[in-house]
């Protein structure tokens, strides 16, 4: 794994955008899984700028999301799918046929998750999974204590995650109690993983990453033995710790 520390969230966004644009340039039909949350917003802005400047052409790429709130359809502005369309797909001019999102409002959640996995397999697997990092070490919605061998599925969300992800909601109490999440095996099978670490309250999770060994308390550590793992972190993550 390679860890790159950058000064701030803006530099992180630029580095991540260069990484993604290079990958798509080398493989225009790349299959890419995308995170939601605050961390990737800068990356998505940079990709839109790169597209406008002619330095990024995603018209053959395929996109998947990592997770979604149960009960939320893509048409709902509080859904992660809606977030991705607003901040990335629409500004980039991505077509609906390039995108397969987890549908949180599906009547049969497990059938939806199984079909999602089949679509990824039919695309030849993921070329890249871009991940954010939760304060409790979760990736996608794989919370502490989750089964590292489980595929895409419905999971209960912790209070910490519901509170942290309440920005799309008027009241944290409105945040759904459950989510659909890509499983850790699917993420681990991606040919490359880009982990972006930005934001406050993540120093404990980042220290678990830097210890470099699997720890069931910290789901992010399930990816540490991946042969092509790139981590970009901004220094605000560990302001009090010179190790970071």
Nearest residue to ligand GLP on Cβ basis: 132
CB of 56 or CB of 141, closer to ligand GLP: 141
Token digits of residue 158: 């912790």
For this structure, is 138 an active site residue? yes
Residue 229 forms beta bridges with which residues?
193
d(CA 1, CA 173): 38
What dihedral angle (degrees, nearest 10) is formed by the CA atoms of 117, 123, 125, 126? -100
Cβ contacts of residue 55 below 8 Å, gap of 6+?
21
CA distance 148 to 41: 27
CB of 139 vs ligand GLP, minimal distance in Å = 7
Nearest residue (CB) to ligand GLP, 61 versus 133: 133
Binding positions for ligand GLP, 23-62, rule CB under 6 A: 35-39
Site string for ligand GLP, 117-156 (x = CB under 6 A): ---------------xxx-----xx---------------
Examine residue 82 and tell whether it contacts ligand GLP (CB under 6 A). no
Q: Is 65 a catalytic residue?
A: no
d(CA 222, CA 194) in angstroms, rounded, equals 14
Residues 162-201 binding ligand GLP (CB under 6 A) are: 165, 199
Q: Phi and psi of 69, rounded to 5°?
A: -75, 135
Determine which one of 65, 103, 127, 138 is catalytic: 138
Catalytic residue among 65, 67, 68, 142: 67
DSSP state of 157: P
- Distances from the Cα of 113 to the Cαs of 102, 146, 191, 218, in angstroms? 7, 16, 21, 23
* 67 labelled catalytic: yes
Binding site for ligand GLP (CB under 6 A): 35-39, 66-67, 132-134, 140-141, 161, 165, 199
* Active site residue ranges: 67, 136, 138, 143
């Amino acid at each position: 794994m390679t860890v790159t520390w950058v000064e701030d969230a803006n530099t992180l966004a630029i580095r991540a955008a260069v990484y993604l644009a290079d990958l798509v340039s080398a493989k225009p039909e790349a299959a890419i899984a995308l995170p939601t949350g605050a961390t990737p917003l800068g990356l998505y802005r940079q990709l839109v700028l790169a597209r406008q400047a002619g330095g990024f052409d995603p018209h053959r790429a395929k996109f998947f999301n990592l997770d979604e709130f149960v009960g939320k359809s893509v048409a709902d502005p509080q859904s992660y799918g809606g977030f991705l369309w607003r901040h990335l797909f629409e500004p980039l001019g991505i077509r609906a046929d390039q995108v397969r999102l987890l549908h949180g409002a599906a009547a049969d959640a497990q059938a939806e998750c199984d079909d999602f996995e089949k679509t990824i397999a039919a695309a030849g697997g993921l070329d890249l999974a871009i991940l954010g990092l939760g304060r409790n070490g979760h990736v996608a919605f794989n919370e502490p204590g989750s089964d590292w061998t489980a595929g895409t599925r419905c999971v209960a969300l912790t209070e910490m995650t519901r509170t942290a992800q309440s920005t799309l909601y008027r009241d944290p109490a409105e945040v759904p109690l459950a989510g659909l999440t890509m499983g850790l095996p699917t993420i681990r099978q991606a040919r490359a993983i880009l982990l972006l670490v930005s934001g406050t309250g993540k120093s404990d999770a980042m220290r678990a990453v830097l210890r470099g060994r699997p720890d069931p308390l910290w789901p992010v550590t399930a990816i540490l033995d991946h042969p092509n793992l790139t981590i970009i972190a901004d220094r605000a993550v560990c302001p009090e710790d010179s190790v970071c």
